[in-house]
Amino acid sequence: MGESRSNFLSRTIDWLRAGYPAGVPRQDYVALLGLLRRKLTEEEVRKIAHGLSEQSQRTSDPITTEDIEAMVNDEVLQEASPEDVVRVSARLAAGGWPLADPPSD
């Protein structure tokens, strides 16, 4: 991974911490990682899941990287509800995450 991409990944984790200062609630993981997949590779999403699990260890509801991956890969949870997407999008926007795709030339 190039240095600028690595910096982007670090900034992404910072955005998530800003949008979720108390940690990501379990019900938001599927929608959150689904939205992140629009801009990130699968490997980057896994790194973020790892970073989020580390952050969650300091909360009252800790979660492991494996738990997050199982939730995301579970067919029952593949589709986030529109309400989940709106709630998570608002959190990401509050943290400065660029939700809109850049205009194409």
Query: DSSP readout, 45-76?
Result: HHHHHHHHHHHHTTSSS---HHHHHHHHH-GG
70 located within any domain:
yes
34 located within any domain:
yes
17 located within any domain:
no
The count of C-alpha atoms lying within 13 angstroms of the C-alpha of 90, restricted to the half-sphere facing its C-beta, is: 5
39 located within any domain:
yes
Residue appearing with tokens 């890969």:
73
36 located within any domain:
yes
pLDDT tens for the chain, 105 residues long, are 567 777 777 877 787 777 788 888 878 887 888 778 777 788 888 888 888 888 888 878 788 888 887 777 764 445 677 888 888 888 877 777 766 654 454
- Look at the chain and report how many structural domains it folds into: 1
Closest CA to 95 of 17, 25, 37: 17
Domain that holds residue 74: 26-94
The count of C-alpha atoms lying within 13 angstroms of the C-alpha of 88, restricted to the half-sphere facing its C-beta, is: 21
61 located within any domain:
yes
- Note the pLDDT of residue 84: 84
20 located within any domain:
no
88 located within any domain:
yes
Residue appearing with tokens 């509800």:
81
| DSSP character at residue 20 | -
Task: Characterize 62-87 residue by residue with b for buried, 16 or more Cβ atoms within 10 angstroms of its Cβ, and e for exposed.
Answer: ebebeebbebbeeeeeeebeeebbeb
Output the six-digit token pair for 53.
């699990």
Q: Is the pTM of this model over 0.75?
A: no
